[in-house]
Structure 1
């Protein structure tokens, strides 16, 4: 069973988004440079061809970005909900949030948390707005792996 620390959940939300923005920015700058060279030297068609290639690549990446935008928003929202659950659980158990890890990066029905005080199962009420913590003991706690470290 894999548990994710609060720090892992908090820092892994936006790393790939920054890389995409950087790639798109570089492509826009390269596209503008090629277009300026083509407009200055209209008889030299290599800049026109390079502009078309870079522009097509830019449009392709922008289309993929738009396609993944809703998926990223959903994932960010779920990770934000999970970090809120970790914070609330840490407050209830009087433990620092960095010492708490959870077994999922999205909100589902079988959430468990690991703290220095032991393992706890999270039981939600019928409408999913509140939860209680129930202490549990694992059959084989040696098979627990933690991503993000304490």
Structure 2
């Protein structure tokens, strides 16, 4: 079973989005450079062809970005909810947020929390706005891995 720390949840919340923005920005700069070079040298057709290729690639990536936007937004929101949950659990158990880990990156029915004070199961109410911590004992606690960035 894998548990994820607050640092891991917080770091992965933005990493992939920044990578996409960087790739799109680089492609836009390359496209502009090729177009400027082509406009200066009208006889050099290879820069026009390269500009068309880069523009097509840019449109493809922007299309994928738009398609994945709702998935990214939902994933980011769920990860944000998990970081809030970790903060709240740390506050209730009077431990540091760095010492709390959860077994999922999104809220689900079987959410476990690992703290220095033991393992807890999180029971949410019907709308997910409140929760109760229930102390549990794991039978195979030696198979636990903690992901931390």
TM range (shorter): over 0.9
Give the secondary structure class of the aligned counterpart of 2:110. coil
Tell me which residue corresponds to 1:26: 26
Alignment length (residue pairs): 149
Supply the distance in 2 between the matched residues of 1:18 and 1:11 (Cα, whole angstroms).
11
Task: For structure 2, list consecutive stretches of 5 or more residues without a partner in the other structure.
Answer: none
Task: For structure 1, list consecutive stretches of 5 or more residues without a partner in the other structure.
Answer: none
Please give the TM-score of this superposition, normalised by the length of structure 1: 0.95
Tell me which residue corresponds to 1:115: 115
Tell me which residue corresponds to 1:60: 60
Query: What is the Cα-based RMSD across aligned positions, in Å?
Result: 1.1
Give the secondary structure class of the aligned counterpart of 2:42. coil
Please give the TM-score of this superposition, normalised by the length of structure 2: 0.96
Supply the distance in 1 between the matched residues of 2:105 and 2:91 (Cα, whole angstroms).
19
Supply the distance in 2 between the matched residues of 1:35 and 1:58 (Cα, whole angstroms).
14
Pairing of 1:41-60 with structure 2 (within 5 A)? 41-60=41-60
Structure 1 moving runs of 4+ over 4 Å? none
1:55 positional shift: 0.7
